[in-house]
Amino acid sequence: MSASKREKFYSYNTLVCLIEGLEGKYTTVDMRNESFVYGKIMQADGFMNLVMSDVTYVDGRGSEYNFDSFFVHARNIRYIHIPTELSIIQTINEQLQKMKRTVKPERQQVSKKVLQRHTETLKMIYGDTK
C-alpha cells in the first residue's frame, strides 16, 4: 500500500506529521458531534484519518461505549489532545526522519535501439531530406 502524492505532501508539509508521530500513544480525540473517544492511535494517514484501538467512545449525551477497533474520519475531528510528556518538535523531527524518501534510481537512458527506431520513423514520415 502506498500513499498518493497528495497524501505524502500533507505528511511532509503540515502538522499531520505530528499526529502520525502519536501512533502507539493513548489520547483523547474530540469530535465534531460533541462526542469524544479515548484510546490508542494505531495509525494516522496524511489526511489525518485515524485508526484507534482499545477505545472508549463517549457520545454527546455522556453514554459510554467500548470498541476494540475504531476508525475516525478526518473531517469529524475537532481536537486531538496531545500527551503532555511528548516533545512536539522532537516528535515531528523523528517522524520526518522516518518518512525520508528513498533515492530513486536515475532515469534510464533512452536506448540506442529506441533512438534508431525513432529516427527511422521520422524519416518515413518526412522523407529522407538530408
Partner 1 sequence: MADEADQVPAITVKEPLDLVRLSLDERIYVKMRNERELRGRLHAYDQHLNMVLGEAEETVTTVEIDEETYEEVYKTTKRNIPMLFVRGDGVILVSPPMRAGV
In this structure, the number of other CB atoms found within 10 A of the CB of residue 71 comes to 13
Please state the closest distance from residue 127 (CB atom) to partner 1, in A. Answer: 55
Query: Which residue among 11, 19, 41, 72 contacts partner 1 (CB under 8 A)?
Result: 19
Q: Which is nearer to partner 1, 31 or 55 (CB)?
A: 31
User: Please, which residue, 81 or 123, has the CB nearer to partner 1?
Assistant: 81
37 lies in the binding site for partner 1 (CB under 8 A): no
Strand partners, 65: 57
Spatial contact of 10 and 47, defined as CB atoms under 8 Å apart: yes
Helix (H) or strand (E) holding 96: helix 88-99
| Residues within window 70-109 making contact with partner 1, judged by CB under 8 A | 74-75, 77-84, 86, 88
Answer yes or no whether residue 122 interacts with partner 1 by CB under 8 A: no
Residues in CB range of 42: below 8 A, 6 or more apart: 23, 24, 51, 52, 53, 69
Secondary structure class of 12 (helix, strand, coil): helix
Which of 86, 122 has the CB closer to partner 1?
Answer: 86
Whats the size of the chain, residue-wise?
130
Q: Which is nearer to partner 1, 2 or 97 (CB)?
A: 97
Does 13 engage in binding with partner 1 (CB under 8 A)? yes
Cell of 13: 508539509
Binding site for partner 1 (CB under 8 A): 13-16, 18-19, 32, 48, 74-75, 77-84, 86, 88
